[in-house]
Amino acid sequence: MSDATAKKEERRKFQAIRGTRDLLPPETTLWNRVEQTAHEVFATFGYGEIRPPIFEPTELFARAVGGETDIVSKEMYTFEDRPEEVEKPQVFQDFERYLRSVQELFEKSRIPQSKENEEAIKQLERTLKKASDAHAHQLFDVGMVATTFYWANAIKLGDELSLRPEATASVCRAYIEHNMQQLPQPVKLYYTGPMFRRERPQKGRYRQFYQIGAEVLGGTDAPAIDAEVIEMLMTFFDKVGLQGATLYINSIGHNADNCRRGYVAGLKAALEKVKEKLGPDSQRRIDTNPLRVLDSKLESEQVIIATLPRIADHLCDECKTHYAEVKRQLEVRGVLYQENWRLVRGLDYYMRTTFEITAPGLGSQNAVCGGGRYDGLVELLGGPPAKGIGFAIGEDRLILSLQESGKGRVPQRRDVYIAWMGERAYAAAIRAAKDLRKSGFSVELPPVEQKFGKALGQADKLGAKYALILGDNEVSEALWTLKTLATGEQAKLTEPDLLQFLRNQKPAT
């Protein structure tokens, strides 16, 4: 390998992992603005912030989101949480030591106490004994190595954990863990942070992406709650300046024979009749999750899907009334919506109200938010019976859409560049910088002396509004020069006058 190729290789090793990316300034200012708006708007609706961990037991997501969903079955980043003192054996000679430490940990209940583990440890012990005997009689063979590795690998050293693909499950877990049912109900929580899904990366779809979500847990399932959650969401989108957002709503009823279960059976029967005309993904879903066929974006399937039975015609009376009231309440709140009978969502916990918001400028990944009602999820996770509803906004997509519509421009945040020359000027510059920063100005104070021409060039490049010029003359005259960079205007002012003049200006943010 040539030096140049080796260097290139080395550089390649340290690129951000596929589907992840660095968020950089000045764009991060926009991210902060969006998050700040969420803090403010959600607080006006009485929500408090929750910060759950970013990994949880895999089982939590499997149970909440559903083991058959794409998210859980294909997309989670899962790992074993093993005790820190165990080292996996590297060479065959390590296995005896490994077996002893695993046996000890098992006895102390420090590794999962499953029947499978008990069996695997026993088998490893037996295999190593056999190998040792075989070795003594020179009958040792590769098959024994393979069997040893097999049983050693079969021992589960810790619980399976996963990076969170979403946060609703965590919030419900926290509600149960902290006995939040004893607080005044409903409990209204929101979160911001990274989520992880091993999806095929493309514009608006990442493996590490960010959500801003909110959940309402406990209390009643009054349709006014659904409507207020959606109203809050639309207020937030309006406040951040998202243009052209469309809200789609639907009701997927509840899991009973006279409601969704009955509908799904009918849908399945209808799908069986047109099976041959469907693509392989939809054909598979007829058995695994027929509702998800309705999500299909495949062009050739659209005419077929249009003829399928619709859930609205199969809702039970309670769900029908609930849905009608949600729509009425949205109208009362002046929230515009479109109904979409095909909106079923890709997570298993939903019932009744589901909604999604799309925004322009995003190509095929145009959903900036998804949510819905999930009564019963808390109970499914081992808690008390509790109602639930919430949403999550895809922050990456929201930012993209804001940028595409020109609403994502971030003001340059450099108010004053202090061009100084000489030790005495530097001391005055440090004082001025401290004072101005205290008043909220963004101040750039170069760490080394620069010629004024270069300093002013730098100030220009940084987009500073003013340059404060401090040289020997200024210090001896006690008059500082302030240059407005956009116009080139200069004025000489005393230090107190100048600080006063700047403080009277608004900082650039």
d(CA 483, CA 260) in angstroms, rounded, equals 70
Task: Give min distance, CB of 348 to ligand HAM, in A.
Answer: 11
User: What single string gives the DSSP state of each residue in 24-43?
Assistant: -TTHHHHHHHHHHHHHHHHH
From the list 153-161, 181-189, 207-215, 422-430, the region that binds ligand HAM by CB under 6 A is 207-215
Task: Give min distance, CB of 202 to ligand HAM, in A.
Answer: 9
User: Given the complex with ligand HAM, which of 77 and 452 has the nearer CB atom?
Assistant: 77
**For the purposes of burial, counting CB atoms within 10 Å of the CB of 115, is it exposed (0-12), middle (13-18) or buried (19 or more)?**
exposed
For residues 458-491, one letter each, b for 16 or more C-beta atoms within 10 angstroms of the residue's C-beta and e for the rest, the string is bbeeeebbbbbbbbeebbeeeebbbbebeeeeee
> Bridge partners of 358?
246, 367
Among 42, 155, 213, 436, binds ligand HAM (CB under 6 A): 213
301 lies in the site for ligand HAM, by CB under 6 A: no
Q: Angle at Cα 344 formed by Cα 339 and Cα 347, nearest 5°?
A: 140
Task: Give min distance, CB of 17 to ligand HAM, in A.
Answer: 14
From the list 6-14, 199-207, 225-233, 464-472, the region that binds ligand HAM by CB under 6 A is 199-207
392 lies in the site for ligand HAM, by CB under 6 A: yes
Position closest to ligand HAM via CB: 394
Reduce the DSSP state of residue 400 to 3 states and report it: helix
215 lies in the site for ligand HAM, by CB under 6 A: yes
Task: Give min distance, CB of 374 to ligand HAM, in A.
Answer: 6
368 lies in the site for ligand HAM, by CB under 6 A: yes
Among 253, 370, 383, 408, binds ligand HAM (CB under 6 A): 370
170 lies in the site for ligand HAM, by CB under 6 A: no
Residue 411 tokens, joined: 């003001």
Q: How many residues does the chain have?
A: 509
From the list 240-248, 312-320, 393-401, 456-464, the region that binds ligand HAM by CB under 6 A is 393-401
218 lies in the site for ligand HAM, by CB under 6 A: no
Number of chain positions touching ligand HAM (CB under 6 A): 24
164 lies in the site for ligand HAM, by CB under 6 A: no
User: Given the complex with ligand HAM, which of 376 and 446 has the nearer CB atom?
Assistant: 376
Angle in degrees, 0-180, between the axes of helices 115-136 and 95-107, rounded to the nearest 10:
150
Rg from Cα positions in the chain: 31
CB-based contact 168:62 (threshold 8 Å): no
User: Given the complex with ligand HAM, which of 19 and 266 has the nearer CB atom?
Assistant: 19
User: Given the complex with ligand HAM, which of 197 and 483 has the nearer CB atom?
Assistant: 197
371 lies in the site for ligand HAM, by CB under 6 A: yes
User: Given the complex with ligand HAM, which of 345 and 465 has the nearer CB atom?
Assistant: 345
What track of x and - describes contact with ligand HAM for positions 398 through 427 (by CB under 6 A)?
Answer: ------------------------------
Phi-psi region of 66 (alpha: psi -120 to 50; beta: other; left: phi over 0): left
394 lies in the site for ligand HAM, by CB under 6 A: yes
From the list 109-117, 139-147, 367-375, 494-502, the region that binds ligand HAM by CB under 6 A is 367-375
297: Cα separation from own chain's centroid: 24
CB-based contact 190:42 (threshold 8 Å): yes
d(CA 371, CA 226) in angstroms, rounded, equals 10
User: What single string gives the DSSP state of each residue in 36-78?
Assistant: HHHHHHHHHTT-EE----SEEEHHHHHHHH-TTSHHHHHS--E
188 lies in the site for ligand HAM, by CB under 6 A: no
Among 42, 98, 190, 391, binds ligand HAM (CB under 6 A): 391
User: What single string gives the DSSP state of each residue in 233-269?
Assistant: HHHHHHHHT--S-EEEEEE---SSTTTHHHHHHHHHH
251 lies in the site for ligand HAM, by CB under 6 A: no
d(CA 343, CA 295) in angstroms, rounded, equals 7
* Chain residues that interact with ligand HAM, rule: CB under 6 A: 166, 168, 197, 199, 204-206, 209, 211, 213, 215, 347, 367-372, 390-392, 394, 396-397
